[in-house]
Structures are given as C-alpha cells and as structure tokens.
Amino acid sequence: MNMNEIDLKLLELLHNGDFVSGEKISEEIGVSRTTIWKHINKLKQQGYQIESATNKGYRLVKIPDRIVPEEVYLGLKTDYIGREIKVFSSLGSTNERAKELARKDFPTGTVVIAEEQTAGKGRLGRSWFSPPGTGLWFSLIVRPDIPPNKAPFLTIIASLTLVKALSELNPELKPLIKWPNDILIDDRKVCGILSELNADLGMINFAVIGIGINVNQDYFPEELSAKATSLKIALNTRIDRTGLLQGILNFFEGYYQKLLEGRFKEILKEWKGYLNILGESVTIYSGSETYQGRVIDISSLGELVIKDNSGKVWSFWAGDVTLRKEEN
Ligand code: BTN
C-alpha cells in the first residue's frame, strides 16, 4: 500500500482518536477541505474506520490490522532501526528475503516483514508455523562492527528486546527467556529467534535476526498446542501488532547501541535476570551426545555452563544443542 504525504499527515493528526475539525486539518496540512475529504475516503477504502460528525470533524476509530510501514514510522523513536520497512503479503521466509536485500547493500535497521510465511524457518532446521495476519514474522538486517565470536550477542539483545517490549505491552505478561532464545509466557513458547550470520575471517559482513511472535492466534495445530501460546491467549484480548513492532524496534536500537559500544557485561547481566534456567537440572542434546547436569552459569560469551553429576563442567554454544529442563 502506498501512502502519500497527505495520508500520513492525516493519520498523524487523527492518531490519538479525538475529533479534529475539517478546518483545522486543512489548515495544518495546507490543502482544501475537499482534498481532505477525498483522502479520508481513500483511507476508508484501505480499511481505516473514520467517523465524521457535523461540527466536530473526523475521528479515527480503528486502523486496519495490517502492517503499514508509514504507520510504524509514526511511532518510532529510533535513528536507524526500522527506518526502512518492507512488507510482503507472503514470503517463503523473511530471513531469506532479508539476506537477499543485505547482499544488495540494504543498511542496518532494514526490516523485512511478511503477513504469512510459507517456509518459515526455525532453529536446527525446524520449520516455523507462520499463518497469515496473526503473528509478527520479520527479520532485521544489521552490520555490527564487532568480532564474529561476539555474534551470539545479537540473539541475546534480540531476546532482551522482546522481553522488554512484551513487558511494556502488558506488565502482566512476565515473559522469560528459555536459553538460548525462546521467549516463554506461562511456560509456553510465544516467540522464537533465528539469527543468521554472513562473516569473513575476523569480520561480520551482515547478520539477519529473524523474529517470530505468536500474536493473535486463537489456537495452534495439535502438535504445537501443548508447547505454544500467543499473546492473545495469554491476555485474552487482541493485540495491535503495529504498536508491538514499534516497541520492539525502539528497544532494539538501545541494546544494539550498547553492543556496538562493547558493553557486553552489562547486556549479559540484564539478560541473565530473565533466564528461566539458572540453577535448574537440564538435559542437553548435542548431535548424538546427551549431557545431564545443573546449570551453574552463563559464560561471558553467552554459553550455557553446566556441572554434571561427576562434577565435570561443560559449556555449550546455543547454535548446536537442544535443551530440556527436567521437572524436579
Ligand atoms: C526458533 O525458535 O526455532 C526460531 C524461530 C524463528 C522464526 C522467525 S519468523 C521470521 C523469521 N523468518 C524465518 O524464516 N524464521 C524467523
């Protein structure tokens, strides 16, 4: 959907839901009231519900449940994250499209969103259920000037961003991070992150951080229903995906800046505060090997450190393992 400047200014003026008179709008935008009326009708055709009342003017009642870049830009407080947003009605995977764009030099902060993914990718070669219009399926392109061995921090700041944005959306949500990067609410997965790296020796060319959030699903296919949840299920109300996306992009820029400034310790400390795994008994599956032990720490690189029953200490990288938390 293409919006011109008049549509945008109109939305900006009507954004808080109060009546604004036709006279005021035409004064602010500097066009005639007939032009305003035409643009109001155009917005209505695009799914915006706008009420008009004699002597009062226009009032925005409802925005369409679609991600429209121009609307996202209105609520961004960022300098560069989310300043270029590409929305597709359907893609195989937003990570794949984001990698294509990154190879064409799209800058840090570019966001690729799909209303639906037909081949959404999860960690460890799994697929990611991405039905149309219900979730937020998107990928962020970044080009951080950090050593490749610090790349796991991209996923760390993404998960930190998600818990912060979800807590801001509703403090009752109380999201936790299941190492390395699943976001859980009520012990069920609500978001997943898949970061992919393009690096040469000693240097990151670009990374794509793919984020999937179950937002407005009412139910899940049988194989997922015991493990997955959505924000709508958790809060019993429909969530505005645009507002949530704005929150995420705003938080992300803050953490990304910290990362560029090398404030790894500070990031890690905050991240540890949301982990649901410290001190727990776990089983780790790494290729054909299985390890059992208690989680004693997270290393300075974000690895999981466990002590097995014989007292031996092992560290695991996020990329290679599956983890199961044992019931006590
Ligand atoms: C996981 O938990 O296994 C990671 C899931 C990541 C899913 C997101 S949805 C947007 C982006 N595009 C993809 O194909 N995958 C990620």
Tell me the CA–centroid distance for residue 122 and ligand 1, in Å: 5
The least confident of 15-24, 111-120, 166-175 is 15-24
- pLDDT for 94-135, tens place per residue? 999 999 999 999 999 999 999 999 999 998 889 999 999 899
Tell me the CA–centroid distance for residue 117 and ligand 1, in Å: 10
Which residue's alpha carbon is nearest to atom 9 within ligand 1?
Answer: 212
Which residue's alpha carbon is nearest to atom 11 within ligand 1?
Answer: 210
Using most ligand atoms within 8 A of CB, pick from 121, 188, 190 the residue to mutate for ligand 1.
121
Average pLDDT value for residue range 1-5: 67
Which residue's alpha carbon is nearest to atom 7 within ligand 1?
Answer: 212
Burial (Cβ within 10 Å: 0-12, 13-18, ≥19) of residue 12 = middle
Instruction: Judge if the beta carbon of residue 39 lies within 6 A of ligand 1.
Output: no
Using most ligand atoms within 8 A of CB, pick from 128, 179, 214 the residue to mutate for ligand 1.
128
Tell me the CA–centroid distance for residue 95 and ligand 1, in Å: 8
**Tokens 């803050």 sit on residue:** 254
Tell me the CA–centroid distance for residue 307 and ligand 1, in Å: 30
Nearest partner of 148 among 193, 209, 109, 199, judged by Cα:
199
Instruction: Judge if the beta carbon of residue 134 lies within 6 A of ligand 1.
Output: no
Length of the chain: 328
> Would you place residue 2 in the very low, low, confident or very high pLDDT band (cuts 50, 70, 90)?
low
Instruction: Judge if the beta carbon of residue 193 lies within 6 A of ligand 1.
Output: yes
Instruction: Judge if the beta carbon of residue 128 lies within 6 A of ligand 1.
Output: yes
Instruction: Judge if the beta carbon of residue 121 lies within 6 A of ligand 1.
Output: yes
| Contact residues for 74 (Cβ-Cβ < 8 A; gap 6+) | 8, 11, 12, 15
Are 229 and 118 within 8 A, CB to CB? no
- pLDDT for 296-319, tens place per residue? 998 888 888 999 989 999 998 876
pLDDT at 268: 93
Tell me the CA–centroid distance for residue 225 and ligand 1, in Å: 18
Are 316 and 276 within 8 A, CB to CB? no
Instruction: Judge if the beta carbon of residue 129 lies within 6 A of ligand 1.
Output: no
DSSP-derived pairing of the beta strands 57-62 and 281-286: unpaired
Tell me the CA–centroid distance for residue 70 and ligand 1, in Å: 24
Average pLDDT value for residue range 245-249: 98
The pTM of the full predicted model, rounded to 2 decimals, is 0.85
Instruction: Judge if the beta carbon of residue 108 lies within 6 A of ligand 1.
Output: no
Instruction: Judge if the beta carbon of residue 182 lies within 6 A of ligand 1.
Output: yes
Mean pLDDT score across all residues of the chain: 92
pLDDT of 3 strictly over 70: no
- Nearest-angstrom CA–CA distance, 161 and 159: 5
- Nearest-angstrom CA–CA distance, 262 and 256: 10
Tell me the CA–centroid distance for residue 183 and ligand 1, in Å: 12
* Residue-range domains of the chain with CATH: 3-62 (1.10.10.10), 69-272 (3.30.930.10), 281-325 (2.30.30.100)
- Nearest-angstrom CA–CA distance, 122 and 64: 29
- The DSSP code sequence of 65-102 is SS--HHHHHHT---SSTTSSEEEES-BS-HHHHHHHHH
% helix, strand, coil for the chain, step of 5: 35, 30, 35
Tell me the CA–centroid distance for residue 144 and ligand 1, in Å: 20
- Nearest-angstrom CA–CA distance, 159 and 153: 10
Instruction: Judge if the beta carbon of residue 241 lies within 6 A of ligand 1.
Output: no
Out of 2-6, 71-75, 299-303, the most confident range is 71-75
